């Protein structure tokens, strides 16, 4: 078991023949992910990386049965790419693209209502089920198979957390980088809920950052519904109010958006909050032994 992706996922790459699409698709294939083809308009009927190229997602789905798509399309066209994938019936869309206009994502969010498509991202590292399937840009070698699920707004902190739990002898079931934009497809709470319901995940690492209410919403859900230990960390503990820190969504807009406020809420909801990402692995190991 895992969440979202596994060795049987049939993956399509949108923006397949571009520089980014080519580089990361190559890495995904080398990792063992089941990439069945790609989409680049006006290049349908050709092959790339020994995989078929299609003009549209719809054509690709009809031919390959693809059920997962990863998007490496420039910001101006990425919203249309997400909606095209959803229209074609793709169950999981992972959008890596950074810098998509907020108003475009508002349209996407509304378009996806009622559709059977889950969006991860945009502006995210993707999803990886350790040693099985990588749909993203993360360094695969960091993720050792195990029993800890990771949910994170930050790509680099996802990799750090994975390394920490591996060193603690625990490893990773599935890691989900949800993205750092103001409007994203899958929230922290939704990702945590998926991991709570995964029988092979025994503990969850939840990494958030300043800005927004997603961590507080997830913490309240965990307090009411959690059945597994959760270790939490919030990035941006020294960030000044009103200044965006790295991610478009990482800006303190009010007292509840600060790292300290989020960490307090998380601790009150029973999450084992750490002050430093260096403590994630050891804390999880200790909690699981109790």
pLDDT at 254 over 90: no
Q: In what order do the strands lie in the sheet with 172-177?
A: 133-136, 126-129, 172-177, 145-152, 203-209, 230-235, 272-273
C-beta separation of 35 from 9 below 8 A: no
pLDDT in tens, 45-84: 999 999 999 999 999 999 999 999 999 999 999 999 999 9
Domains of the chain, by residue range, sit at 11-120, 138-289
| Confidence (pLDDT) at 251 | 57
pLDDT at 250 over 60: no
pLDDT band with cut points at 50, 70 and 90 for residue 242? low
Domain 138-289, CATH homologous superfamily name and number: Succinyl-CoA synthetase domains (3.40.50.261)
The CA distance from 167 to 107, in Å, is 42
When the candidates are 3.40.50.300, 3.40.50.720, 3.40.50.2300, 3.40.50.2000, the CATH number that belongs to 11-120 is 3.40.50.720
pLDDT in tens, 124-181: 999 999 999 999 999 999 999 999 999 999 889 999 999 999 999 999 999 999 998 9
pLDDT band with cut points at 50, 70 and 90 for residue 116? very high
Same fold, 11-120 and 138-289: yes
Which residues are known to be catalytic? 247
Residues 6+ apart with CB under 8 A from 24: 13, 70, 72, 96, 136, 137
C-beta separation of 231 from 203 below 8 A: yes
- For the entire predicted model, the pTM comes to 0.94
Residues 6+ apart with CB under 8 A from 110: none
| Confidence (pLDDT) at 210 | 86
pLDDT in tens, 274-287: 999 999 999 999 99
The CA distance from 212 to 259, in Å, is 11
C-beta separation of 179 from 233 below 8 A: no
pLDDT at 230 over 90: yes
Record the tokens describing residue 157, joined without a space: 């902190």
């Amino acid at each position: 078991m895992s969440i979202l992706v596994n060795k049987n996922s049939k993956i399509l790459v949108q923006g397949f023949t571009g520089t980014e699409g080519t580089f990361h698709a190559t890495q995904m294939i080398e990792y063992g992910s089941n990439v069945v083809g790609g989409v680049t308009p006006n290049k349908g009927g050709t092959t790339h990386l020994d995989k078929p190229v299609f003009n549209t997602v719809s054509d690709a789905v009809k031919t390959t049965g693809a059920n997962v798509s990863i998007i490496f399309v420039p910001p101006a066209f990425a919203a249309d790419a997400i909606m095209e994938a959803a229209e074609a019936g793709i169950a999981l869309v992972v959008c890596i693209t950074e810098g998509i206009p907020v108003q475009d994502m508002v349209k996407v969010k509304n378009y996806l209502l009622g559709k059977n498509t889950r969006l991860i991202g945009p502006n995210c590292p993707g999803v990886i089920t350790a040693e099985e399937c990588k749909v993203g840009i993360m360094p695969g070698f960091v993720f050792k198979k195990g029993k800890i699920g990771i949910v994170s707004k930050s790509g680099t902190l996802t990799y750090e957390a994975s390394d920490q739990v591996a060193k603690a002898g625990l490893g990773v079931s599935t890691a989900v980088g949800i993205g750092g934009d103001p409007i994203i497809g899958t929230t922290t709470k939704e990702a945590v809920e998926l991991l709570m319901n995964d029988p092979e995940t025994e503990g969850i690492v939840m990494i958030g950052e300043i800005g927004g209410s997603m961590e507080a919403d997830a913490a309240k859900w965990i307090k009411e519904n959690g059945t597994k230990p959760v270790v939490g960390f919030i990035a941006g503990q020294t960030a000044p109010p009103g200044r965006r820190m790295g991610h478009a969504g990482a800006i303190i807009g009010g007292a509840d958006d600060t790292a300290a406020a989020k960490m307090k809420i998380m601790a009150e909801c029973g999450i084992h909050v750490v002050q430093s990402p260096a403590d994630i692995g050891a804390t999880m190991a200790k909690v699981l032994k109790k």
